[in-house]
Amino acid sequence: MALSQLLSSSSRSGNRLKSLSSAISLRHPISTDTTPITVETSVPFTSHQCEVPSRTVQTNAKELLTFFRDMALMRRMEIAADSLYKAKLIRGFCHLYDGQEAVAVGMEAAITKKDSIITAYRDHCTFIARGGTLLEVFAELMGRQAGCSRGKGGSMHFYKKDSNFYGGHGIVGAQVPLGCGLAFAQKYCKDEAVTFALYGDGAANQGQLFEALNISALWDLPAILVCENNHYGMGTAEWRAAKSPAYYKRGDYVPGLKVDGMDVLAVKQACTFAKEHALKNGPIILEMDTYRYHGHSMSDPGSTYRTRDEITGVRQERDPVERIRKLILSHDLATEKELKDTEKEVRKEVDDAIAQAKENPVPDSSELFTNVYAKGLGVESFGADRKEVRATLP
């Protein structure tokens, strides 16, 4: 579903026929084979105060190839963002998600757009998974008008209202109480939907998290707190920041599940399980054991607090894209060439989106004043000491 949206919006420039023909010539047809395939997750789940979901997952060729394409797209997008940052087209802060793609993709596969997701600042891929387009991503990163937040949010503040993606938060841990509030609203309105509030291992030590957890448990809110444990809070290893790095157990009275976050099928299984659980019994914590290849942000080389061997080790053993590639090849769902072609297509899509985003203008300077308050009440200040203020009413 994410794919068709990506394609249709990346050729927004109008000519339907042209876009269709280019789509046909470029786009590699993904197998629509839906015969079920049974796969086992990499490791069994471990749980705290709840039953363990089955290790056997049902999937099919279509789903696996979609996973591959989506994760390859995200991987390429993050690497392209890295180069753009070094070329100083993206400024400010840029936190890259490569290595963790399985969490975003697996979660999306388990839920609908009615369920809400709220996350921290490492949000580029979650935004794509929720249906965002590459153009919106790159434009927002470069601070242009076509960005999802109109160029005013930047890397850390991606939002998508129509797919219930509540962003994109710079302050560590602040999004978790918000997420529990979303869950409250969902329960109140009888939406039969859940909220996934994502946070990192660094944020797991924030007090507001436990406040939110207590309230969610008290009122049985359909909140799923997902700890994306990439083992480093910026430069601090988890064992140096937390007395108990078993984040799935930190809920105490709230059940928890530990998941291999590099296995997209495990993530999907866990999220399906969690959604069912949350709708019936209230909050649950999911700990995604994942890893990021880049440093914390673009100003962090990522090698001062961990060895290069560790990074290459994870890349070789546990890379999410490689795992799916091996699965696809071992089940003969596609040839190696077809997968390489998919990656090439994805690369081209990313390059096209970047080119389009570069052409896009920066927001008009009057945008500095818009949306401070509601009703588009723009306020402009004039005069030598900027005392005279003029408000433009809608």
Contacts to another protein by CB under 8 A: 91-93, 143, 151-154, 156-157, 170-173, 202-203, 205-208, 233-236, 240-242, 304-305, 362-363, 365, 367-369, 372, 379, 381, 383-387, 389
Phi, psi (5° rounding) for residue 210? -75, -30
Q: Provide the 10 A C-beta neighbour count for residue 272.
A: 17
Q: How far is the CB of 241 from another protein (least distance, A)?
A: 4
Residue 102 per-residue DSSP state: H
Q: Please, are residues 203 and 209 in contact by the beta-carbon 8 Å criterion?
A: yes
Q: How far is the CB of 384 from another protein (least distance, A)?
A: 3
Nearer to another protein, 233 or 283 (CB): 233
Judge residue 335's burial from the number of C-beta atoms within 10 Å of its C-beta, 0-12 exposed, 13-18 middle, 19 or more buried: exposed
Nearer to another protein, 144 or 268 (CB): 144
Q: Please, are residues 199 and 209 in contact by the beta-carbon 8 Å criterion?
A: yes
How far is Cα 93 from Cα 120, in angstroms, rounded to an integer?
13
How far is Cα 254 from Cα 281, in angstroms, rounded to an integer?
10
Q: How far is the CB of 171 from another protein (least distance, A)?
A: 6
Nearer to another protein, 153 or 320 (CB): 153
Nearer to another protein, 44 or 245 (CB): 245
Q: How far is the CB of 96 from another protein (least distance, A)?
A: 17
Q: How far is the CB of 121 from another protein (least distance, A)?
A: 9
How far is Cα 383 from Cα 365, in angstroms, rounded to an integer?
17
Nearer to another protein, 198 or 321 (CB): 198
* Distances 31 to 150, 170, 328, 345 between C-alpha atoms, Å: 36, 39, 11, 16
Three-class SS state of 389: strand
Q: How far is the CB of 156 from another protein (least distance, A)?
A: 7
Nearer to another protein, 108 or 201 (CB): 201
Q: Please, are residues 148 and 159 in contact by the beta-carbon 8 Å criterion?
A: yes
Q: How far is the CB of 91 from another protein (least distance, A)?
A: 4
Residue of 128, 114, 198 whose CA lies nearest to 158: 128
Nearer to another protein, 7 or 141 (CB): 141
